Structure 1
Amino acid sequence: MIGFGMSEENVARFLAHPLSIVCSDGSALATEGPLATGTPHPRNFGAFPRVLGHYVREKQVLPLERAIEKMTAAPAQRVGLADRGRIAPGMAADLVAFDPDRIADRATYQEPHRYAVGIHHVMVNGRLVLRDAEDTGERPGRALHGSMIDHR
């Protein structure tokens, strides 16, 4: 059963609020292999591309630069990940190169295991995991624990 508790207008209002950040409670999933089972919520594959394509480009709820900050620096700061969220010397090199005119989510409730379009390259910890929209096989990611999280 799926219920929808927020209107488009409310989502847009929350995104535009100066104190909001963009996060997702989606899981680590894939389009093939053991992480490609079940029918997860489409946000697992499309939360961030949806903000960039639908709310930034199409609806013009907020500028691209502000949306990027709400997805990167603001959440990293909020959870205490001091080496994430900004491009600067000494920071972890987690980067996404995307086409702002093309980026869009494609995951649906019927087909939730669909990657977004418009993403060309993804770098995690300084290593390319996606090059020219193709998986490189690199797996440099690791679990992170921010200083704002109680580890008890």
Structure 2
Amino acid sequence: MTSLPAQTFNLGNRGLVREGFAADLVIFDENTISDRATFEQPHQYPTGISHVIVNGQTVFANGEMTQARPGAALRGRGTRDL
């Protein structure tokens, strides 16, 4: 699900759960995941996601954002700013 996009955009150590790779994970329940955002209220968290982990740090847990901000914009080799 994530390794092909990571390879396509040359994102190095991302896209797989493997020792030495960045730990970017979304823990979700496939039976309850659902988008709640609308045009009127676009900033609604989806249901069914319990945790989001970026670079090994939990940034979202049990419906709440944490104070961790380990993320950064990733640009693969050969990409350019628009």
TM-score, normalised to structure 2, is 0.89
Equivalent in the alignment of 1:121? 51
Equivalent of 1:112 in 42, 50, 53: 42
Is the aligned partner of 1:133 residue 2:79? no
**Gaps (5+ residues) in structure 1?**
1-68
Any runs of at least 4 consecutive aligned residues in structure 1 with deviations exceeding 3 A, and if so which? none
> How much has 1:150 moved relative to structure 2?
4.3
Q: State the distance in 2 between where 1:82 and 1:110 align.
A: 37
Q: Look up the equivalent residue of 1:93 and give its one-letter code.
A: A
Q: State the distance in 2 between where 1:132 and 1:150 align.
A: 36
> How much has 1:99 moved relative to structure 2?
0.6
Structure possessing the higher radius of gyration over alpha carbons: 1
Q: State the distance in 2 between where 1:101 and 1:122 align.
A: 17
**Gaps (5+ residues) in structure 2?**
none
> How much has 1:75 moved relative to structure 2?
1.1
TM-score, normalised to structure 1, is 0.50
The CA RMSD over aligned residues, in Å, is: 1.3
Equivalent in the alignment of 1:77? 7
SS of the aligned residue for 2:4 comes to helix
Equivalent in the alignment of 1:149? 79
Name which structure has the greater RCO, CA cutoff 8 Å, separation 6+: 2
The percentage of aligned residue pairs carrying the same residue is 48
Q: Residues 110, 84 of structure 1: CA spacing in aligned structure 2 closer, same or farther, 3 A cutoff?
A: same
Q: State the distance in 2 between where 1:127 and 1:138 align.
A: 7
Is the aligned partner of 1:103 residue 2:33? yes
Q: State the distance in 1 between where 2:10 and 2:60 align.
A: 27
Q: State the distance in 2 between where 1:148 and 1:80 align.
A: 8
* More strand as a share of residues: 2
SS of the aligned residue for 1:75 comes to helix
Q: Look up the equivalent residue of 2:7 and give its one-letter code.
A: Q
Which residues in structure 2 correspond to 1:87-98 (within 5 Å)? 87-98=17-28
Equivalent pairs, count: 81
